[in-house]
Amino acid sequence: MKSRLLAGAAALVAAIIGVVLVISYANGADSRAMAGLQPTQVLVVAKPVAQGTSADKLAASLELRTLPADAVAPTALTSLEGTSGKVTTTELTPGEQLLAGRLASPASLVRPGTVPVPAGFQEVSFQLDPARAVGGHLQAGDTVGMFLSFDKGAVPASQGPESTDLTLHKVLLTAVDGAQSSESSDSGKPAAGALTLTVAVTDVQATKIVFANEFGKVWLSKEPKSAADSNSGPVDRGKVYQ
């Protein structure tokens, strides 16, 4: 009889301990859930943002939104403090949190072997044989003179004579693809194959370059910033020997 009482008492104690443990676990889970729901403010993209946008211009495309703590990314920003001088490294889409890694120095966006495009300029590319581009001995950052030639001249309704003009001066090369191979660099021989040259120009200059590549011919000189500019206008058959 006594053993039965002891067994019953032990079972009761075990049941009570089990209930206490369940209640304790449930209370802990509730605490953890409440911690996860702790409201946290974070910057969220409200309008599309283009890659390369200055952080100083981001405010109009962002909104401060309150989210549960467990829904906030570890590197999400809560303000734009300390981001001055940085730009977006990729396009930002509405609804995404603004992460610290989405902002970086403008230099980080520049492809190796290229130089940044000056503000207000656009890029245009064209192909030339190395002989027309200083033997292929050009690199990003160089400035070039651009000679434009036309078989029948460039005057409207003109049937000649042929003419060449140093039309654009000190144009910045932002990229040169297919330039000198290691062999040509060592030997000084021209690089083989066509070069793809990318320049930073105004919209008017870009139009002239495209037109000349479509309907005429282009030749480049390596024209540093210190080079003299004494071009007297187009040269044709009547002027070439003068």
In this structure, are strands 122-128 and 62-68 parallel, antiparallel, or unpaired?
A: unpaired
Beta strands in the chain (DSSP E): 39-45, 62-68, 87-88, 103-104, 122-128, 143-150, 163-177, 195-201, 217-222, 235-236
Give the model confidence (pLDDT) of 46-62 as tens digits.
Answer: 999 998 899 999 999 99
Neighbour count for residue 58 (Cβ, 10 Å): 23
Quickly count helices (H) and strands (E) in the chain.
3, 10
> Which parts of the chain have pLDDT scores under 50?
34, 181-191
Other C-beta atoms lying within 10 Å of the C-beta of residue 137: 17
Residue 19, classed as helix, strand or coil, is: helix
pTM: 0.57
pLDDT at 52: 85
pLDDT given at position 231 = 72
Decide if 220 contacts 133 (C-beta within 8 A).
Answer: yes
Candidates 84, 77, 82, 90; CA nearest to 48 is: 90
Question: What residue ranges define each of the domains in the chain, with the CATH number in brackets?
Answer: 39-108 (3.90.1210.10), 122-227 (no CATH)
Q: What is the per-residue pLDDT for 122?
A: 95
The encoded tokens of residue 114 equal: 């290229």
Residue found under tokens 């409207």: 156
Contact call for residues 127 and 196 (beta carbons, < 8 A): yes
> What CA–CA distance (Å, rounded) separates 220 from 207?
17
Please tell me whether residue 69 adopts helix, strand or coil conformation. helix
What pLDDT is attached to residue 28? 59
Q: Please, is 105 exposed, middle or buried when counting C-beta atoms within 10 Å of its C-beta (0-12, 13-18, 19+)?
A: exposed
pLDDT attached to residue 27: 60
